[in-house]
């Protein structure tokens, strides 16, 4: 990694709401049109938009939930990620794919064929969200990232593939980088994956829903692939949940893994900014910036 320089330290409404300078820290409910509705003839996706203070343009990231949709613990966990990333200078779009399709509340969590089918329309959703963010004047359109949890993590892997931008993006470029929390790594393939965007996978070593071993030993080609396994973490380790069984699988929060994963995610995001955005980011935040 090449260090650039060091400076002094330093979810739901139907309306698309305008920003006010006094409420930038609060998320705003938005809607955006789904290019692949999957149900019916048209569908508006819903989300929460978090914006940092200042004029921008800022880098941005889309967050995508797992199989349970915006269940309370999931929504709270995603908002915690969003608050952290907003404080670190990122616009964040927390996207709900399942609620508008009436698939929320864990309805699909034991239905593997439906979850696999969801990878297709949810990857369209991810690129729809990118398109929405790129149209905002406070977003640096060439610095949009994606993060997903569980089923959203498998969506993130699919969106990172070299073929994704052409298949799902309607001419948009690839995401600048992609982060997958405890994803189903069968989406990677068995030995190698052709990537169009750098990919960071954060997995739990004791996850018996989507075992971390499936993420290991796969070679990324075209862009870097990094896998971090937290040996004692289970599924949903970044949520504020006591250890428990859900759909017959172990889930539960791990504060240590959560904190480390956020640090790694931020380093990955900042390291994959365009050079111009790295300079702007360093100037805004007064910190050392490293290029991946």
pLDDT tens per residue, range 138-180:
999 999 999 999 999 999 999 999 999 989 987 778 999 999 9
The answer to whether residue 19 scores a pLDDT higher than 90 is: no
Mean pLDDT of 38-53: 95
Q: What is the mean pLDDT of the chain?
A: 89
Looking at residue 291, its pLDDT comes to 55
Residue 97 has pLDDT above 70, yes or no: yes
pLDDT-based confidence at residue 290 (cuts at 50, 70, 90): low
Summarised one tens digit per residue, pLDDT across range 109-141 is 999 999 999 999 999 999 999 999 999 999 999
Burial 45-54 (b: 16+ CB within 10 A, else e): bbbbbbbbee
Q: Is the pLDDT of residue 96 over 70?
A: yes
Per-residue model confidence (pLDDT) at position 11:
27
What does the pLDDT look like over 230-247, one tens digit per residue?
A: 999 999 999 999 999 987
Q: Is 291 helix (H, G, I), strand (E, B) or coil?
A: strand
State how far the Cα of 9 lies from the Cα of 166, in Å rounded to an integer.
Answer: 41
**Which CATH code is given to the segment(s) 2-291?**
3.40.50.1820
Q: What pLDDT, in 10s, does the model give residues 54-83?
A: 888 999 999 999 999 999 999 999 999 999
Q: CA angle, corner 44, sides to 156 and 114, nearest 5?
A: 50
Q: What is the mean pLDDT of residues 15-34?
A: 63
Is the confidence at residue 20, as pLDDT, over 80? Answer: no
In the structure, what pLDDT confidence band is assigned to residue 23 with cuts at 50, 70 and 90?
very low
Extents of the domains making up the chain? 2-291
- Record the pTM: 0.89
Pick the residue with more confidence: 12 or 269?
269
Element holding 87 (H helix, E strand): helix 72-87
Contact 278, 4 (CB under 8 A): yes
- Confidence at residue 12, expressed as pLDDT on a 0 to 100 scale: 27
Q: What is the pLDDT of residue 292?
A: 55
pLDDT tens digit sequence for 247-284: 789 999 999 999 999 999 999 999 999 999 999 999 98
Q: Alpha carbon of 102 to those of 48, 170, 215, 228: distances in Å? A: 18, 26, 31, 33
């Amino acid at each position: 990694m090449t260090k650039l320089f060091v400076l002094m330290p330093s979810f739901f409404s139907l309306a698309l709401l305008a920003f006010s300078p006094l409420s930038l820290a609060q998320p705003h409910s938005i809607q955006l049109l789904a290019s692949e509705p999957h149900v019916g003839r048209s569908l508006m996706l819903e989300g929460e938009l978090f914006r940092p203070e200042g004029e921008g343009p800022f880098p941005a990231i889309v967050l995508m939930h797992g199989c349970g949709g915006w269940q309370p613990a999931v929504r709270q966990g995603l908002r915690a990620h969003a608050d952290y990333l907003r404080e670190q200078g990122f616009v964040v779009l927390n996207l709900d794919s399942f609620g508008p399709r009436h698939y929320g509340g864990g309805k699909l969590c034991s239905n593997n064929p439906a979850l696999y089918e969801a990878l297709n329309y949810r990857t369209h959703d991810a690129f729809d969200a990118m398109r929405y963010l790129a149209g905002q004047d406070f977003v640096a359109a060439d610095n949009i990232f994606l993060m997903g949890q569980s089923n959203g993590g498998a969506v993130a892997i699919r969106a990172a593939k070299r073929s994704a931008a052409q298949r799902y993006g309607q001419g948009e470029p690839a995401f600048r980088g992609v982060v997958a929390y405890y994803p189903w790594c069968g989406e990677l393939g068995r030995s190698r994956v052709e990537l169009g965007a750098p990919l960071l996978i954060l997995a739990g070593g004791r996850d018996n829903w989507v075992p971390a071993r499936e993420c290991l030993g796969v070679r990324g080609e075209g862009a870097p692939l990094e896998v971090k396994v937290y040996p004692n973490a289970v599924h949903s380790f970044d949520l504020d949940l006591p250890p428990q069984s859900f759909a017959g699988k172990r889930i539960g929060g791990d504060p240590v893994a959560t904190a480390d994963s956020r640090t790694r995610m931020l380093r990955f995001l900042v390291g994959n900014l365009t050079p111009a955005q790295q300079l702007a980011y360093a100037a805004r935040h007064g910190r050392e910036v490293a290029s991946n």
